[in-house]
Structure 1
Amino acid sequence: MLARPTAIFQLRNAMPSNFALFARYNAEMNERQFLAGQQLTPEALMQERGAFFGSILGTMNHLIVADTLWLQRIAEHPRRFASLHDIRTWAKPSSLTDFQYKTLADWITQRRILDRLIAQLVAEITDADLSSVLHYQRTDGTPGSKYLNDVLTHFFNHQTHHRGQISTLFFQAGVDVGVTDLMSLVPDVM
């Protein structure tokens, strides 16, 4: 068994522009998965594939649930980000395995709403916001307190982690999502 590190890992050098790039990357990769999903039947999207969240659509749903939970937590930040005003009224997912969107069309509708909110949020964030602490409750009710910078780093990393799983599931189903590297969206410097 690996020993837990004794030092707390914190990222302190991210800037709002980093998160703007991550938001753009997130939205682009979600659109690619939507296009990939259109190449499969609804049954193939729901097929149990041995993944942690079962199917392609199950894993895609997990990302919506997790993103919703984190955005709802961030919406309670003392800064009260205007972009997250409406999400405060949404029903909270009951678990990370909630299967709220049973069709690809329903999933993409909600995914695009979330991706717009994410882009609007990162456009609002300042350096001061990133160094502030977000106090929240985990799904089991225990309290958490983390720097907003670290929360957002986790938020985008979590998306990338599970989209990698989804891309693999698509590939196993015979659909190539295409290039998914972040560097594909970073312009060359001349």
Structure 2
Amino acid sequence: MKQQFTLMADYNAWMNDNLYRLAAGLDEGDRSRDLGAFFGSIEGTLNHILVADIMWMNRFRVHPARYRCLDALEPFPAPKALAETLYSSFAELHRARDTMDRIIIDLIEVSDEQDYAVPLHYRNVKGEPLTRAFGPLLMHLFNHQTHHRGQATTLFYQLGVDVGVTDLLVRIPDQGPATPDR
């Protein structure tokens, strides 16, 4: 699983960098215009992804491995709702996203296969207690990001912005020269 999580952390940071770069090139009105997505706008969608990441990464702090890299979460706000606006400017949101992506990469680097089977006890946003294995929760973190980034790419297209290639495939390392089909 570690190899897959390493790939997903890389893909996550790469895609976030691409989308934030494109969003920074939009004027504020287009970036924050409600286009009918779950979280309204491009900025609202990107904000939601960060909100959920903060919530999940803070839940991961209870892992018995006590990952020191998660201490870097201290400066982040503690969101109470999934649509809570975290920062007053897009530049601040962008800096926070870059920091979060580094924390996620660091977490994957220091975690190991045994860690992924450990059950984590946490509360969801409704306050309900839950227990699930750490590995599948990490998988959910990455899947959630991909889901909402897909929505963001649709919003970019609605504004006439081509986001380019978004496939995970481009981040999968090449394994050498192709062999002819038999």
Matches within 5 A, 1:143-158: 143-158=129-144
Q: Residue type of the partner of 2:108?
A: V
Q: How far apart are 1:71 and its partner, in Å?
A: 0.1
Q: How far apart are 1:38 and its partner, in Å?
A: 2.5
Q: Residue type of the partner of 2:152?
A: I
Report the counterpart of residue 183 of structure 1 in structure 2.
169
Question: Paired residue for 2:3, among 6, 14, 17?
Answer: 17
SS of the residue aligned with 2:48?
Answer: helix
Matches within 5 A, 1:22-37: 22-37=8-23
Q: In structure 2, do the counterparts of structure 1 residues 179 and 96 end up closer, same or farther at CA, with 3 Å as the change threshold? A: same
C-alpha distance in structure 2 between counterparts of 1:142 and 1:179, whole Å: 39
SS of the residue aligned with 2:141?
Answer: helix
Q: String of CA shifts for 1:55-91, please: whole Å, max 9, x gaps.
A: 1100100001000000000011121111102325744
Question: Paired residue for 2:69, among 78, 83, 99?
Answer: 83
Question: Paired residue for 2:156, among 139, 163, 170?
Answer: 170
Given that 2:47 and 2:86 are in contact with CA atoms closer than 8 Å, whether structure 1 keeps it comes out as yes
Report the counterpart of residue 32 of structure 2 in structure 1.
46
Given that 2:116 and 2:135 are in contact with CA atoms closer than 8 Å, whether structure 1 keeps it comes out as yes
Given that 1:42 and 1:103 are in contact with CA atoms closer than 8 Å, whether structure 2 keeps it comes out as no
Number of aligned positions between the proteins: 176
* Residue 132 (1) aligns with residue 132 (2): no
Out of 74-83 and 153-162, give the one that drifted further.
74-83
The normalised TM-score by structure 1 is 0.89
**Structure 2 alignment gaps of length 5 or more:** 177-182
C-alpha RMSD over aligned residues: 1.2
SS of the residue aligned with 1:152?
Answer: helix
Q: How far apart are 1:49 and its partner, in Å?
A: 0.5
C-alpha distance in structure 1 between counterparts of 2:28 and 2:162, whole Å: 17
The percentage of counterpart residues that share the same residue type is: 41
Report the counterpart of residue 103 of structure 2 in structure 1.
117
